[in-house]
A and B are shown apart, each in its own frame.
Chain A
């Protein structure tokens, strides 16, 4: 942030700081120092005042001292020599009768982060470990960790490590926890603190004395402990059981994490029981007043549901969206709702989701419609009724998402195709965006025999092909017209001819042109050949229904529980979605399904869920990249086709 007049300010501050009248008046001196810090946090470079500030450090005013330390710690690394001057004051403060001054001096001595000062710091730190006041010991213990990170390769005194181990028995719980933290850092290369039985039991016994943050830390360290017998394990578990219901969410999460790491391998039943027990506090966190906490809890609920599908089925109402909630919470809640659907609540859930479909935010509306589509895999009739009703709204963004959702639904549930085909009539006028039109074209192509108006809709598209911008729509149009031609040749022949002519003669986009050429040559090879290439599978029911999905073992995700991972995964998915849009725009994924399906049917059919569509797009893109290396003539995706293509090339080359 540029701050105008910075230099002037610095000059003026220097004058004030060196003014003997100011130095003589504690209040004025303090307020001048305060101004320096204020200017510093506004982003002005005040490093030039270093020597004046060092002098200001020698004062009895604790507030001023603290302010000067804030300054010194920010700029010490730029002035290592001048910082030596501070050390004397700091060492003197370490002898001060006031424990607060001692701890302050000790903390800032180690915060200067200057390797050259290490030799001056060690002695006061050693003394600090044996200080009467707990607040000094707390600082001294962490001070050793800071020294270690300054000189990561220097060996730390074994005596210090031993002393730290023995200080795990300190009366003050914060000192104890700090010892754990310091040892973890110092002994990082050896794998952290050696948690033996004595230490583990000591920590467990003193857990109650610690505050929330200390408890989380201790529980985290204990994850490394392996009990020697099953009896000991169960003793620990029953000791920790009340913590699973702790009103503090971090403690509950840390305890659950410990439970999972202790028994997810040996005793899956126990870890499942722990999950069930922790669902209450987790649900409460989902209703927390802080949206960030809500989000964190929701992401972890999704983790739990992987192993216990339908766990919170009867609490589905807790996942209904509040109307003023931020969009990211709403979407996450809908994802959870989809997982919780069962025979009893499906009606209520769908009713609620239906209300979100007309949300003012298009993102939320879209998420709600796709959620209905996902539920449609198990309860297709009810969902199709809602989706069809939404088409009646004749709104661009809604219609587009509905058609896309129907496309995905038909692929998984072939029994829906009848009603989808009926619903499609007339929605081509509302569709504006390319993704929605691609979805419609795919549906028309694959189910052209059932949609009576299919050839005429395609004809309208072909008439406007000149003004069409998206290449993806054109390739999809080509494929769809070809398919409809195969089942209804009389009505489509003329349209197809015009389309092929335009694409081969006038089209500027190479991909579209190549594809048109390919189809043209394919038609030369005979109708049976064409049919075998173009008419692949119409659906893949193996992608399965939502309900009755096998539960994952807890160990699959136990490691990422209570880390940033579950929150970030969602982030990654959402971040790549808009990036994936250009793929959809430029190259439609759907032809790849049908062209490559007969060749390598199991290619990427294994993925479930919304990510599948995205992956399809990416996979297709990789094929494309591959082709461009091979040369522009190879039209068919996948490396298994080049022979045939070469063969096809021959007759056309003559023309």
Chain B
């Protein structure tokens, strides 16, 4: 049971406040903000209580999403509901930020009114909600050169028109402006998050890949969509693997609405997508990867005669040559009290700096093609460097994004809509792998 819902900005401004049961006053908002800002780093913030009130909150898009409730409510339900609410608002407003919430407050009040009544969750399905929601979303489109790049020069069809602009999937699902906003498009994203630990000897200690297939649908009416996965897709450890392009995952679960009658034979998922974003399938692969892990590090760390710390890092990207990693950021923890950093990097677009607040050297590489090898030499001035301080160097953390690449090798063979949509419908498939946590021990 939900007593109130409110959304606060990170500075504590009230953006949205709705009271469903009249049990608690508006001062709960202030009480919540005081509590949440008084927490120290190690205290778990998710559930807090103030007198009789219990707050459950999540943070998304830099905002606090809070419900007040009674002690016997299910935390799983409330957290899941808040997460769902954020996706819903993202679907309707286009994006999730303080600005978009401020601009669309009328729409959000309307949504909340339909989603929750008397503190009970009524529905969160866009199919039902679209009959009730009348307010139109307000979006702000900043002028961007990237958008222009997609316009064919003097009307010429360029290569680029085969690629959807990255902002294409961040618009509201409902729009009455027929030609421009109401394009009937469908986006299917395969998103994988990998968490990896590589030992100091280069052995893979732990690897987990959590993946999901997300469908974001802008089509007002779509009867059925068939998503074809790799034919050699197998689930579970026991099955024998053939040669070549077999794709294996350990566990796999599907959205309620997915029909699986053709899955066993042909690896086809059948869905009737409703408007908005939905996770159609989730899967997990643990303890092994079909290919080499994307990055290997060869570090050499020593003290020189002047008491300086020398770190020579060689980083190799083991992706296939056609793929590349972007926004690679390498974090190397260094001994406490490190004063200054001198660096030798192999190209000018890379950057490295010593950040005392995180006690680490951050090395940023905007683009890292597969098969390449980069190296960097860091010299650190550390007063009182002892041999024991070397223990403080490492483990190295990497964060990166691998566009157009999936670690499991999962691919979408085809995407068919029935009945066949009139010409204007567009289907997009995107693949991306994120590093959830990629740790290399030294």
Q: Which residues of A contact B (CB under 8 A)?
A: 1, 34, 37-38, 41-43, 62-63, 66-67, 70, 100, 107, 113, 135, 138-139, 142, 145-146, 149, 174, 177-178, 181, 211-213, 216-217, 220, 247-250, 252-254, 257, 280, 284-285, 287, 289-290, 292-293, 295-297, 299, 317-318, 320-325, 327-328, 331-332, 348, 352, 355, 358, 360-361, 363-364, 367, 389, 392-395, 562-568, 570-571, 574-575, 578
Instruction: Output the least CB separation between B188 and chain A (Å).
Output: 18
Query: How many contacts between A and B, using CB within 8 angstroms?
Result: 224
Which of B208, B284, B333, B392 makes the CB contact (< 8 A) with A393? B392
Interface secondary structure of A, over-half rule: helix
User: Does B358 lie within 8 Å of A253, measured CB to CB?
Assistant: no
- CA of A256 to CA of B74, assembled, Å: 12
Q: Does B302 contact A (CB under 8 A)?
A: no
Can you report 8 residue pairs joining A to B where beta carbons are below 8 Å apart?
A: A145-B118, A216-B74, A247-B282, A249-B76, A292-B58, A564-B71, A568-B49, A574-B42
Q: Does B391 contact A (CB under 8 A)?
A: yes
Closest 6 CB pairs of A and B: A322-B437, A363-B42, A392-B388, A247-B253, A323-B397, A213-B121
Q: Does B216 contact A (CB under 8 A)?
A: no
Instruction: Output the least CB separation between A215 and chain B (Å).
Output: 10
- CA of A287 to CA of B437, assembled, Å: 12
Among B16-24, B163-171, B371-379, the stretch in contact with A: B16-24
Instruction: Output the least CB separation between A519 and chain B (Å).
Output: 38
User: Does A360 lie within 8 Å of B123, measured CB to CB?
Assistant: no
User: In the complex, which residue of chain B has the Cβ closest to the Cβ of A145?
Assistant: B118
User: Does A142 lie within 8 Å of B118, measured CB to CB?
Assistant: yes
A217 cross-chain contacts in B, Cβ below 8 A = 120
User: Does A216 lie within 8 Å of B205, measured CB to CB?
Assistant: no
User: Does A211 lie within 8 Å of B125, measured CB to CB?
Assistant: yes
User: Does A293 lie within 8 Å of B83, measured CB to CB?
Assistant: yes
User: Does A295 lie within 8 Å of B46, measured CB to CB?
Assistant: yes
User: Does A287 lie within 8 Å of B333, measured CB to CB?
Assistant: no
- CA of A247 to CA of B77, assembled, Å: 13
Interface string of B123-138 (1 = CB under 8 A from A): 1110000011011000
- CA of A567 to CA of B74, assembled, Å: 11
Q: Which residues of B contact A (CB under 8 A)?
A: 13-17, 21-22, 40-49, 54, 56-59, 69, 71-77, 79-83, 105-106, 109-110, 113, 117-118, 120-125, 131-132, 134-135, 193, 195, 197, 205-206, 208, 210, 251, 253-256, 282, 284, 286-287, 331, 333, 336, 358-360, 386, 388-389, 391-392, 394-395, 397, 399, 436-437, 439, 441
Instruction: Output the least CB separation between B369 and chain A (Å).
Output: 25
Q: Decide yes or no: A287 and B284 within 8 Å by CB, A1-B13, A352-B197, A562-B75 being known contacts.
A: yes
A107 cross-chain contacts in B, Cβ below 8 A = 113, 117
User: Does B395 lie within 8 Å of A355, measured CB to CB?
Assistant: yes
User: Does A567 lie within 8 Å of B44, measured CB to CB?
Assistant: yes
- CA of A322 to CA of B69, assembled, Å: 31
User: Does A280 lie within 8 Å of B251, measured CB to CB?
Assistant: yes
A284 cross-chain contacts in B, Cβ below 8 A = 251, 253, 282, 284
- CA of A449 to CA of B365, assembled, Å: 58
User: In the complex, which residue of chain A has the Cβ closest to the Cβ of B357?
Assistant: A360
User: In the complex, which residue of chain B has the Cβ closest to the Cβ of A287?
Assistant: B210
User: In the complex, which residue of chain A has the Cβ closest to the Cβ of B205?
Assistant: A348
User: Does B441 lie within 8 Å of A355, measured CB to CB?
Assistant: yes
User: Does A42 lie within 8 Å of B14, measured CB to CB?
Assistant: yes
A566 cross-chain contacts in B, Cβ below 8 A = 75
A212 cross-chain contacts in B, Cβ below 8 A = 80, 256
- CA of A459 to CA of B418, assembled, Å: 87
With a 10 A CB-CB cut-off, give which of A34, A325, A360, A394 has the most chain B CB atoms.
Answer: A360
With a 10 A CB-CB cut-off, give which of B17, B44, B360 has the most chain A CB atoms.
Answer: B44
